[in-house]
Amino acid sequence: MERLLREKMVTLGASLFARGYSSGSGGNISARLPDGSILATPTNASLGRLAPERLSLVAADGTLISGDPPSKECAFHLKIYQARPGCGAVVHLHSTYATGLSCLRDLDPENVIRPFTPYYVMKVAPLPLVPYYRPGSPELVAAVASRARQAGCFLLANHGPVVTGKTLEDAVNTAEELEETAKLVFLLQRNPAGVRYLEEEQIRELIPGG
């Protein structure tokens, strides 16, 4: 299983990079193994040029087991896994539109995007905002841990999106849905009065048990 997961992480990382969801060495992804350890992208690694044997294998307590040293943001990945027992993967990107959205003023900290498509509701929402802290800082790690107990997706202010999933494919698919939704937010700003937002009853119909 570990070998297949390593190959999958390389393939999906390259796909995200090729389509502009990350650039340079920005962003990082991880996936949890059955024993609780995680595979993560190494520090300063490009998602477009990962090597299976160089991925960081990290114990649940943060100890490096094998591979290259992990990204400094691996610390908040570990906190997310602790906060969300059902989480199997974490994707953190610096994708253009979601990152641009995270830089705007006066965002609703409990749900940054007011629902206007069913797939945003089903795949992403709610989308809380984590206040800005220096990347890799203990303050950011603590803030992410707090938000991860409440939501599976959130934005880091002035930084970018963090998305979780039961599997690596789930997390990547949701990250892509979020980026496309953020793109629509900017396109619709050209005519904000004309946006048809979903009504509360329509939203409830999309939420299991809603």
- Nearest C-alpha neighbor of 99 from the set 183, 13, 25: 183
The answer to the question of residue 18 being in a domain is yes
Q: What is the pLDDT of residue 1?
A: 82
pLDDT digits (tens, 9 = 90+) for 16-34: 999 999 999 889 999 999 9
The answer to the question of residue 186 being in a domain is yes
Number of domains making up the chain: 1
* CATH, residue 65: 3.40.225.10
Structure tokens at 62: 């943060």
pLDDT digits (tens, 9 = 90+) for 86-111: 999 999 999 999 999 999 999 999 99
Tell me the CA distances in angstroms from 46 to 93, 101, 107, one per residue in order: 11, 23, 30
The answer to the question of residue 166 being in a domain is yes
Using pLDDT thresholds of 50, 70 and 90, give the confidence band for residue 208.
Answer: confident
pLDDT digits (tens, 9 = 90+) for 39-84: 999 999 999 999 999 999 999 999 999 999 999 999 999 999 999 9
Structure tokens at 154: 């959130």
With beta carbons less than 8 A apart as the criterion, state whether 64 and 57 touch.
Answer: yes
Q: What is the pLDDT of residue 209?
A: 63
The answer to the question of residue 131 being in a domain is yes
- For residue 193, pLDDT over 90 is answered with no
Q: What is the pLDDT of residue 93?
A: 97
The answer to the question of residue 57 being in a domain is yes
Dihedral pair phi/psi, residue 60, rounded to 5°? -60, -25
CA separation for the pair 164, 87 (Å, rounded): 6
Active site residues: 73, 119
The answer to the question of residue 105 being in a domain is yes
As a whole number of Å, the end-to-end CA separation of the chain is 36
Using pLDDT thresholds of 50, 70 and 90, give the confidence band for residue 210.
Answer: low
- The answer, yes or no, to whether the previous bond of 109 is cis (omega within 30 of 0) is no
Using pLDDT thresholds of 50, 70 and 90, give the confidence band for residue 8.
Answer: very high
The answer to the question of residue 197 being in a domain is no
Average pLDDT over residues 200-208: 88
pLDDT digits (tens, 9 = 90+) for 107-166: 999 999 999 999 999 999 999 999 999 998 999 999 999 999 999 999 999 999 999 999
Domain that holds residue 141: 2-190
- Nearest C-alpha neighbor of 52 from the set 101, 103, 89, 2: 2
The answer to the question of residue 206 being in a domain is no
With beta carbons less than 8 A apart as the criterion, state whether 47 and 14 touch.
Answer: yes
Structure tokens at 127: 């989308």
